Chain A
């Protein structure tokens, strides 16, 4: 713009102040407390000593942390690989109009309303070989299933639990993306003689790109931070097989009162999530876009 005639008034900054205060209280100050702990050591009495990056080095060099990190990565990978395609499939099969739409939507929303620890408890009971319907049935069929002693069984249970709990979220997001596609696209595809697969590949999938990005980010972050379900079901066992970063973190901070290492761990944990989310975001928003169109608003 050649001339800018807009009025300037620095008092406008006062309007930003409430938000700044809120964010400071809810995020910045707690985070800074953690940063503060992560670079100091204490022997009680509220006395602290500066230790620099020592805790960070300890955490990064510990096999306990690395093992938990690998478990987290594998878990999130499996969750995304199952929930995203499954969510898309279910969304594609859902009706677009008629009385079944609200029925399907309510059914889909139900699992999302159940609190994490309740889901954990439900499956904990459900899977028990002595009194649980699932565990008992499997045992009766001769399947040797026990999530408390077998690492593989524990993993399968947690994964099934998460898929049951959260696939709906992906479904609902994809469904909202699908119903937003104008009818003309399907009509044009019919006239162009496109097969069902091509309609999916060239119309539905590209049009769902944005909601899929949200779905992937939400499911990644949430599954990477998984805590309650394995805590309720197995408490991190058998052995350390379901000890994810979050469980390890809580053990370190509250079980052992190692506040310094726990703080360093939190920061590293946080940075990993941030980094991976950024990678997902960048890759997915630039997929199928020309380099010179990047960042441009599109219709």
Chain B
């Protein structure tokens, strides 16, 4: 187990990258704490698999260094780095039995027989595969195969980190949940550093202590699920995390007042005069829908045109427009949507963005 340090790391698949846009992974500096559970989240093609392959050693970065504790491993091969990786599609050795699959990495490392046997037996029990120990691995279901791929990493007690590259892609939905729970359990039990790549926010937010959000080769925010929800550092994070994503509206800020959608809201923080493209972000969860005829309660009300209401079970999503801008609101199940509606914002939940980046007031 180890702390993993990324030191001015960057990668381009081109031999002579000219500008920023040639880099699949733009410069990143970060420390992954020993024993942490991290998720790398982002849309396809954002560079998350590139970053993962650099950490595992399948790819040598074009710039910067990577260290495990204090050892520079930038040019070391995957086998020398002592890491484990679980791939998108389950990789199993077809002709071996389940137990032989789990013993394989240990045998390759010349560990003695009784020790291998003990560890494999333990791991079979941990993965709930004891009754299939002597079955050939090829006949198993996708989730069982994926458990074996994971188990081959876990039997090596001393691995520095376990990396997951969208490991639940081919798993049935009801098994996904079980496997995710299992992963969480294993993380608590073994305390390995785990890095989990996914484009599914539910997977990322349930699995990880810290989520690294990537966009276009760049890390845009690293934070706990709460931080990503409450204070997205970039409008992309606001939009990408949450269902539906954050409402982003053009705005003007002066002091502690923000004008958005034709109304003014008092903010809890003060802002210096801002230049550039200023936007306000508010999550649909903090947008209320009220009747225009209701008595004035002193809150700022913005006339809302309701275009569509989607009932998704425990709550409804109202899709509408305020002053010509699309806006989503989440309202409780069964709440009546008035014909003449107004949108009500919770001012304490409004974030201010300049050129897509969060501005924290004082």
In the bound complex, CA of A293 to CA of B93 (Å): 16
List residues of chain B with CB within 8 A of the CB of A206: 93-95
Q: A206-B94, A206-B95, A299-B142 are in contact. Are A188 and B136 (CB under 8 A)?
A: no
Q: Which of A8-16, A86-94, A116-124, A191-199 lies on the face that meets chain B?
A: A191-199
In the bound complex, CA of A290 to CA of B97 (Å): 9
Among A192, A194, A198, A207, find the residue whose CB has the most chain B CB atoms closer than 10 A: A192
List residues of chain B with CB within 8 A of the CB of A184: 87-89, 91
In the bound complex, CA of A288 to CA of B277 (Å): 64
Select which of A191, A193, A194, A198 is within 8 A of B85 by beta carbon: A191
B83-104 vs A: 1/0 string, CB under 8 Å?
Answer: 1110111010111100000001
Q: Is B351 an interface residue (CB 8 A)?
A: no
User: Considering the complex, which residues of chain B in the window 297-320 have a beta carbon less than 8 Å from any beta carbon of chain A?
Assistant: none
In the bound complex, CA of A296 to CA of B139 (Å): 8
In the bound complex, CA of A192 to CA of B83 (Å): 9
Q: Is B135 an interface residue (CB 8 A)?
A: yes
In the bound complex, CA of A207 to CA of B95 (Å): 10
Q: Give, as a whole number of angstroms, the nearest-CB distance from A288 to chain B.
A: 4
In the bound complex, CA of A10 to CA of B87 (Å): 49
Q: Is A182 an interface residue (CB 8 A)?
A: yes
Q: Are B93 and A202 in contact (CB under 8 A)?
A: yes
Q: Are A298 and B87 in contact (CB under 8 A)?
A: no
Residue of A whose beta carbon sits closest to that of B149: A188
Q: Give, as a whole number of angstroms, the nearest-CB distance from A191 to chain B.
A: 5
- Please classify how large the interface on chain A is, using the bins under 10, 10 to 19, 20 to 34, 35 or more: 20 to 34
Select which of B58, B95, B104 is within 8 A of A288 by beta carbon: B95
Q: Is A4 an interface residue (CB 8 A)?
A: no
List residues of chain B with CB within 8 A of the CB of A47: none
Q: Is A203 an interface residue (CB 8 A)?
A: yes
Select which of A185, A191, A193, A288 is within 8 A of B136 by beta carbon: A288
Q: Are A195 and B95 in contact (CB under 8 A)?
A: no
Q: Is B172 an interface residue (CB 8 A)?
A: no
List residues of chain A with CB within 8 A of the CB of B109: 193
Q: Are A293 and B136 in contact (CB under 8 A)?
A: yes
Q: Is B56 an interface residue (CB 8 A)?
A: yes
In the bound complex, CA of A290 to CA of B56 (Å): 34
Q: Is B152 an interface residue (CB 8 A)?
A: yes
Q: Is B268 an interface residue (CB 8 A)?
A: no
In the bound complex, CA of A49 to CA of B116 (Å): 75
Q: Is A187 an interface residue (CB 8 A)?
A: yes
Residue of A whose beta carbon sits closest to that of B153: A191
Q: A191-B84, A289-B136 are in contact. Are A202 and B77 (CB under 8 A)?
A: no
Select which of A191, A290, A293 is within 8 A of B79 by beta carbon: A191
Q: Give, as a whole number of angstroms, the nearest-CB distance from A298 to chain B.
A: 6
A255-299 vs B: 1/0 string, CB under 8 Å?
Answer: 000000000000000000000000000000000111011001011
Q: Give, as a whole number of angstroms, the nearest-CB distance from B343 to chain A.
A: 48
Q: Is A64 an interface residue (CB 8 A)?
A: no
Q: Are B108 and A290 in contact (CB under 8 A)?
A: no
In the bound complex, CA of A165 to CA of B242 (Å): 64
Select which of A188, A290, A292 is within 8 A of B91 by beta carbon: A188
In the bound complex, CA of A299 to CA of B153 (Å): 22
Q: Are A192 and B108 in contact (CB under 8 A)?
A: yes
Q: A184-B89, A192-B108, A206-B94 are in contact. Are A298 and B138 (CB under 8 A)?
A: yes
Q: A184-B89, A184-B91, A187-B58 are in contact. Are A290 and B135 (CB under 8 A)?
A: yes
Q: Can you name 10 extra interface pairs (CB under 8 A) apart from A188-B87, A192-B105? A: A187-B85, A190-B58, A190-B77, A190-B79, A191-B83, A192-B104, A289-B138, A290-B135, A296-B139, A298-B139
For the complex of A and B, the 3 pairs showing the least CB-CB separation, nearest first, are A293-B139, A193-B108, A188-B91
- Please name 24 pairs of A and B residues whose Cβ atoms are closer than 8 Å in the assembled complex, sorted by A: A182-B89, A184-B88, A184-B89, A187-B56, A188-B91, A188-B152, A190-B78, A190-B79, A191-B79, A191-B83, A191-B85, A191-B105, A191-B153, A192-B104, A192-B108, A194-B108, A198-B108, A202-B104, A207-B94, A288-B95, A289-B139, A293-B139, A298-B138, A299-B142
